[in-house]
Structure 1
Amino acid sequence: MQIRATNPEDKELRREAILDAAEQLWLAQPDRMSNVAEIASAAGLAKGTVYLYFRSKEELFLAIHERHVNTFFSRMKARANQTGLPMTLDDLFTVNRQFLLDFPAFLPLATLCHGLLERQIPLESAFVFEEHTYAQLEELVQALRHHFPQSTQALMLQSYALFLGLWQLMRPSPLKELMKERSLVCACTDDYLLMLESALKALWSGALMTTETP
């Protein structure tokens, strides 16, 4: 018989176990969302237990995405708040790069969740997610301003748009391979991280450039 978690620590551990199981299933089959029964089985739990923590598989996958977002903000703020260690653009890009390497599910799941927020997540739940995200975004902007005074929410949102936009253009797929074979797209590089860093450098260098008044 499965023992029900009752104290907050056990509940949080069980919630994390559910998210871990769903994320591993997603990485194994990124072209489909596993159903609740599959996720419960992978986590070693009853299907009904999963519903105690998440009302739907869509809200469960949004929770995975939120966990990724929280980790990104935590890493970036930790680096920005290091005492006595000025932050450079290279440091900024290093944190970005390592996060994407550590969490390969982030980009495909972020794309999926943007669609879910508009169509399959209850409006109030979607708003709470966005509210938390923007609160963390503002905290990060304030931390980055100690190193980059021109940092803004708009600049961070533009950076995020590059994350997703470049990935959607460059991610491997049978169609992309056919397009390259027939010279329909530039095959100059398949290195997403290299292209992303180049685009981010151009964006941030331009935004942080100080214009002197003649």
Structure 2
Amino acid sequence: MQIRATNPEDKELRREAILDAAEQLWLSQPERMSNVADIASAAGVAKGTVYLYFRSKEELFLAIHGRHVDTFFNRLKARANQPNQPMALDDLFAVNRAFLLNFPAFLPVASLCHGLLERQIPLETAFAFKEQTYRQLEDLVLALSCHFPQATPALMMQSYALFLGLWQLMRPSPLKELMKERALAPACTDDYLQMLEAALKSLWNGALMTSEVT
């Protein structure tokens, strides 16, 4: 019999276990969202237990995305706040690169959640998620501004658009393989991280030059 978590620490551990199980299932079959029964089985809990923590599988996946965002922001802030350690663009990109390699579910789950927020997540829940994310973004910009005076919420949002948009263009799929075979795809590298870093450098260097001119 499953023992019900009663104290806050146990509840948080169980919530994290459910998120971990859902994320691993997503990585093993990224073309579909696992149902709640599969997630519960993978987490070793009853199906009803999942609903004690998340009202729907859509809100569960939004929580996975939120956890990724928290980790990403916290890593950048930790690097920015290191005492007596100036931060250059290469340091910023190194944090980006390590995060994307450490969390392979981030990009596909982020892409999924953008659609969910508009269609399948209750409006107030979606607003609360966005509000929390923007507060974190403002904290991150404040930490980065000591090293990059040109850092703004708009610049960070443009950077995120590059993260997601470039991945959506380059991610493997049967259609993209057919396009390659028939020479429909333009000749370019398949190295997503290399292309992302080049695009981010152009964006941030352009912002830096603009701020120096003004």
- TM-score clears 0.5: yes
CA distance in 2, matches of 1:171, 1:187: 15
In structure 2, the partner of 1:113 is 113
Give the deviation of 1:173 after TM superposition: 0.6
In structure 1, the partner of 2:27 is 27
In structure 2, the partner of 1:139 is 139
In structure 2, the partner of 1:100 is 100
Amino acid corresponding to residue 152 of structure 1 in structure 2: T
SS in 2 for 1:166: helix
CA distance in 2, matches of 1:152, 1:161: 14
In structure 1, the partner of 2:124 is 124
Give the deviation of 1:211 after TM superposition: 4.0
CA distance in 2, matches of 1:212, 1:144: 20
In structure 1, the partner of 2:159 is 159
Deviations 1:156-210 (Å, cap 9, x if unpaired)?
0000000011001100111111111212112321000000000000000000114
The two structures, once aligned, show a CA RMSD in angstroms of 0.9
Is the counterpart of residue 89 in structure 1 residue 89 in structure 2? yes
Amino acid corresponding to residue 206 of structure 2 in structure 1: G
User: Where does structure 1 differ by over 2 angstroms across 4 or more consecutive aligned residues?
Assistant: 210-213
Is the counterpart of residue 187 in structure 1 residue 190 in structure 2? no
Amino acid corresponding to residue 167 of structure 2 in structure 1: W
How is 1:52-91 mapped onto 2 (pairs within 5 angstroms)?
52-91=52-91
Q: Percent identity?
A: 82
Deviations 1:19-53 (Å, cap 9, x if unpaired)?
00000000000000011111000001000011000
Amino acid corresponding to residue 207 of structure 1 in structure 2: A
CA distance in 1, matches of 2:37, 2:175: 32
Give the deviation of 1:94 after TM superposition: 0.2
Gaps of at least 5 residues in structure 2 are none
CA distance in 1, matches of 2:184, 2:172: 15
Amino acid corresponding to residue 159 of structure 1 in structure 2: S
Task: Calculate the TM-score normalised by the size of structure 2.
Answer: 0.98
Task: Quickly say closer, same or farther: Cα 1:51–1:212, change in 2 above 3 A.
Answer: closer
CA distance in 2, matches of 1:151, 1:143: 10
Gaps of at least 5 residues in structure 1 are none
Aligned length, in residue pairs: 213
CA distance in 1, matches of 2:51, 2:151: 41
